[in-house]
């Protein structure tokens, strides 16, 4: 078969495959977002279970495989601040599918404006953060502290603040670690690998991939009251990079 024809067929396959998944994602987000919103009025726990089911199906429909390592490092009866590297929009569904429904996210406020999807985020107790307004960002972190103390859930933060273009771990914003120190809960480093192969930051193309989530051992945040958030942030970042390097070497 002529190379140009093969290239054309490959392009058409990728186009239709991606279009189907995007269409399914929008439709299912509308259904599950509405269900989660209704459930959230009565039970945040039930809303989170609906959200997790959607995330599991989203990973499945891309043809991707999810592998989780290190779940034995966390106690399901306790709550934590999970800090993870950020590669793709698929990081959130991968983490929700892999870690469980007892987590919520601190996410950029723009995501809450997405119809249905944003409703679902509100229903499961996500906290929006305005990255362009330091004062409002601090208020969001204070809400996060209150949520950790009041509710039996853990929070997930992406300290890089944005998705990585190269896949390498960027610098961490130190302010987000104030949340763990003030709430007095352990920080759990989490490494995500493979979501960038499903969808890169600058592309709408969807592909199947093997996604690895590696959960590190909790770092007691109260031990960093004196040394501060900078040292805690660097400790978490170093751990995430080591786990990512270990996965690449494998």
For the stretch 123-134, pLDDT in tens is 777 888 877 777
Question: For tokens 């192969």, what's the residue?
Answer: 197
Strand partners, 215: 190
For the stretch 148-199, pLDDT in tens is 667 778 889 999 888 888 788 989 988 778 878 888 889 999 999 999 998 8
pLDDT higher at 225 or 76: 76
Residue pair 244/69 in contact (Cβ under 8 Å)? The answer is no
**Helix axis angle, 44-61 to 91-99, nearest 10°:** 120
Question: What are the extents of the domains in the chain?
Answer: 3-249
For the entire predicted model, the pTM comes to 0.81
Edge to edge, the sheet with strand 154-157 lists 65-69, 210-215, 187-193, 81-84, 154-157, 103-108, 127-129
Taking 80 as the threshold, does the pLDDT of residue 101 lie above it?
A: no
**So what's the pLDDT on residue 236?**
94
**So what's the pLDDT on residue 144?**
72
For the chain, the DSSP string reads --HHHHHHHHHHHHHHHHHHHHHHHHHHHHHHHHHHHHHHHH-HHHHHHHHHHHHHHHHHHTT-EEEEE-GGGS-TTS--EEEE----TTHHHHHHHHH-SSEEEEEEGGGGGSTTHHHHHHHTT-EEE-TT-HHHHHHHHHHHHHHHHHSS-EEEE-TTSS--SSSS--PPPGGGHHHHHHHT--EEEEEEESHHHH--TT-------EEEEEE---B-GGGGTTT-HHHHHHHHHHHHHHHHHHHHH-
CATH no. for 3-249: 3.40.1130
**So what's the pLDDT on residue 30?**
58
For residue 212 the two structure tokens come to: 């690895």
Taking 50 as the threshold, does the pLDDT of residue 141 lie above it?
A: yes
> In 3D, which of 141, 156, 28 has the Cα closest to residue 102?
156
Taking 60 as the threshold, does the pLDDT of residue 139 lie above it?
A: yes
**So what's the pLDDT on residue 186?**
92
For residue 143 the two structure tokens come to: 């809400």
For the stretch 11-42, pLDDT in tens is 565 556 566 666 666 666 655 655 655 555 55
d(CA 17, CA 77): 40
pLDDT higher at 8 or 147: 147
For the stretch 199-250, pLDDT in tens is 877 777 788 899 999 999 999 988 887 777 889 999 999 999 999 987 654 4
For residue 98 the two structure tokens come to: 């892999």
What's the rounded mean pLDDT across residues 137-156? 75
**So what's the pLDDT on residue 71?**
93
For residue 43 the two structure tokens come to: 């039970």
**So what's the pLDDT on residue 32?**
61
74-78, 82-86, 129-133: which is most confident: 82-86
d(CA 64, CA 196): 12
pLDDT higher at 70 or 55: 70
**So what's the pLDDT on residue 194?**
92
Weakest-pLDDT range from 39-43, 51-55, 105-109, 223-227: 39-43
What's the rounded mean pLDDT across residues 93-101? 87
């Amino acid at each position: 078969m002529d190379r140009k024809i093969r290239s054309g067929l490959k392009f058409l396959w990728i186009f239709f495959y991606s279009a189907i998944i995007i269409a399914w994602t929008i439709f299912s987000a509308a259904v599950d977002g509405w269900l989660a919103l209704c459930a959230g009025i009565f039970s945040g726990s039930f809303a989170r279970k609906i959200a997790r089911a959607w995330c599991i199906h989203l990973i499945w429909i891309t043809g991707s495989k999810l592998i989780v390592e290190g779940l034995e490092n966390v106690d399901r009866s306790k709550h934590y601040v999970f800090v993870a590297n950020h590669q793709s929009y698929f990081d959130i569904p991968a983490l929700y599918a892999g870690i469980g429904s007892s987590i919520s996210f601190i996410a950029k406020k723009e995501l809450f404006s997405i119809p249905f999807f944003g409703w679902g985020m509100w229903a499961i107790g996500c906290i929006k953060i305005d990255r362009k307004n330091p004062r409002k960002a601090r208020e969001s972190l204070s809400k996060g502290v209150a949520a950790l103390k009041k509710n039996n859930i853990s929070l997930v933060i992406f300290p890089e603040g944005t998705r990585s273009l190269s896949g390498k771990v960027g610098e961490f914003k130190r302010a987000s670690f104030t949340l763990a120190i003030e709430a007095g809960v352990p920080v759990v480093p989490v490494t995500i690998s493979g979501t960038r192969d499903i969808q890169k930051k600058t592309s709408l193309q969807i592909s199947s991939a093997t996604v690895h989530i590696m959960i590190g051992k909790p770092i007691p945040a109260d031990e960093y009251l004196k040394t501060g958030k900078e040292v805690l942030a660097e400790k978490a970042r170093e751990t995430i990079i080591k786990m990512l390097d270990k996965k690449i070497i494998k």
